[in-house]
Structure 1
Amino acid sequence: MRLRSVRAIPERPSPGDELLVAEAVRLTVGGRDLLTAADLRVTAGEVVALLGPNGAGKSTLLSVLAGDLPPTAGAVRLRGRPLAGHPTLELARHRALLPQNAELSFPFPAGEVVRMGRAPWAGTAAAGEDAAAVAGAMAATECAAFAERPFTALSGGERARVALARVLAQRTPLLLLDEPTAALDLRHQELVLTVARARAAAGDAVVVVLHDLTLAAAYADRVVLLAAGRTVADGPVAEVLQEPLLGAVYGHPVEVLPHPRTGTPLVLPRREV
């Protein structure tokens, strides 16, 4: 049997190629079911938003998709192979994960933190792209101006942008982003999701956990709605972001209105005035 070398550079996917599949994923930790029946399919060239209330299982599912948490039951396949069958280094060349909290104990300069994203490519032909990958990622996230500053001295929003730049510098065909806009101001929320759209337009796939339903509607091709650890809806934005469904899942009535210029849904909590 021919063995694949972990030094090999993965072939880039073509638009529409199925990159990641999760079927009936269940995760039980300490006797508690964190995921009960989560399903997801991700193809190259799309942005998929994971939505749902607190405790729905969004971040947990993202960790399972990244290979950081093995599921108790169900199947996860990356590019047609079981996720568990990918060696750690090979996995790092297929997918990049942005966790919810970016913390470092040592005061590395921000530029060095971004360069850490290139570690999986050491010893491969792609290592020659390191400088360009780092510079491009820092420019895209507008953090080149503080490249020499210690990561620990940055504001929360600046840290979030450096952490995203590290993920972008990894140059994998699959990006898994956990609440990348949470610590950011309005301008940088838009910037981050514009970058996500650009990566999808270039043929990559992006799975992003978001709490802002209107942002998801503006930037995602498809949304997956989770509740109590299970997938309750999966489809185009306009089909899933419906008032009765969202009201039931979030436990609060909402209004869904068309944006006056773009027509994309605006999701607002219904308030008594």
Structure 2
Amino acid sequence: MRLRATRTVPERPRPGTEVLTAEGVRLTIGGRELLTGAAVRVTAGEVVALLGPNGAGKSTLLSVLAGDLRPTAGDVRLHGRPPADHSTAELARHRALLPQSAALSFPFPAGEVVRMGRAPWAGTTAAAEDEAVVAEAMAATESAAFADRPFTALSGGERARVALARVLAQRAPLLLLDEPTAALDLRHQELVLRVARARAAAGDAVVVVLHDLSLAAAYADRVVLLAGGATVEEGTVSEVLRAPLLSEVYGHPVEVLTHPRTGVPLVLPERARRPGPPGR
């Protein structure tokens, strides 16, 4: 006999509600300081991009925000409480984390991998939506065509899209995405960021680690610039993506232009003029 789901689904935060905050976060592992004073604030209905050079602490901070790492010092609040105060099941229903790389030991079909994202809702009234939610997530990431193929047989970009579909299927009101565009071609980079914007428009909060500053400028509501494990600047795209600041943080001169049609900032490294062909 099938048991009826009785647990109800928690109410999702209203747009503008503070979902996640971190202040003065420090983290030391093995005697090495990975975070030295990171801070971030995230509200429902917005996309926040974590930016910074390699080793700045972006992925580490994301793991702290997710509750996978406990900070050595500082304060992190998820829905007003430290992540450690939430049960494992609560965390899985409140936030969904997409790591940099997705690896599985067994060749599960891609559709089953996406369906794993529904595990936190087993036994709740939301479980009735499982099939529809999985189908919607795979359609949004253009991964339905290989739903029956083993995850281990997929290309890097296909795996990345299936992993994102799993996160979307989790239907958590906070999405933490670590370099979701890294393995993707131009079309699917745009697709992923459009999906992030759509989730924010639907009321979710999205935190995304990006290396492409122009992608961040095009899709983020606010950006957090990190360097040396600390937050250097936090604010709107125009407030943070300034050529002098970026040149200093990245250790390379950049220029910030404005796209003539969209008005969105374009961040480009300064380069020497390319010489013409010989003989001209």
AA at the equivalent of 2:182:
A
> How many pairs does the alignment contain?
268
Whether the aligned pair in 1 keeps the contact of 2:47 and 2:200 (CA below 8 Å) is yes
Describe how 1:220-259 pairs up with structure 2 within 5 A.
220-259=220-259
User: C-alpha separation between the residues in 2 aligned to 1:47 and 1:261?
Assistant: 22
Once the two structures are TM-superposed, the CA of residue 104 in structure 1 deviates from its matched residue by 0.6
Secondary structure at the counterpart of residue 81 of structure 1: coil
Which structure has the larger Rg? 2
SS at match of 1:183: coil
TM-score by length of 1: 0.97
For the residues of structure 1 that align with 2:80 and 2:63, how far apart are their CA atoms? 19
Aligned residue number for residue 3 of structure 1: none
Matched AA of 2:96: A
**1:81 shift after superposition:** 1.3
> Are 1:145 and 2:145 an aligned pair?
yes
Mapped pair 1:47 → 2:64:
no
Task: Determine the structure 2 residue equivalent to 1:26.
Answer: 26
Aligned equivalents of 2:90 and 2:185: distance in 1? 35
Q: Deviations over 1:56-106 (max 9, x none)?
A: 000000000000001011111011112111001001000000000011111
RMSD, matched Cα: 0.9
TM-score (norm 2): 0.95
Please tell me whether the aligned partners of residues 8 and 126 of structure 2 are also in contact (alpha carbons under 8 angstroms).
no
**Partner Cα separation in structure 2 for residue 99 and residue 215 of structure 1:** 19
Contact 2:217–2:265 (CA under 8 A) maintained in structure 1: yes
Separation (CA, whole Å) in 2 of partners of 1:151 and 1:116:
13
CA distance in 1, matches of 2:170, 2:34: 29
1:129 — aligned with what?
129
CA distances 1:151-206 after superposition (whole Å, capped 9, x unpaired):
00000000000000000000010000000000000000000000000000000000
* 1:268 and 2:273 aligned: no
State the Cα deviation string for residues 200-237 of structure 1 (Å, max 9, x = none). 00000000000000000000000000000000000000
Deviation at 1:8, TM superposition (A): 4.7
Contact 2:137–2:169, Cα closer than 8 Å, also in 1: yes
Corresponding residue for 1:68?
Answer: 68
Is the deviation greater in 75-84 or in 143-152? 75-84
Counterpart position of 2:277: none
In structure 2, the partner of 1:58 is 58
Kindly indicate whether the alpha-carbon contact (under 8 Å) linking 2:19 and 2:78 is maintained by their aligned counterparts in 1.
Answer: yes
Matched position secondary structure for 1:263? coil
Indicate the percent of aligned positions where both proteins have the same amino acid. Answer: 83
Structure 1 runs (4+) deviating above 3 angstroms are: none
| Matched AA of 2:226 | L
C-alpha distance in 2, partners of 1:152/1:261? Answer: 42
Deviations 1:111-132 (A, max 9, x none): 0000000000000111011011
Letter in structure 2 aligned against 1:244: P
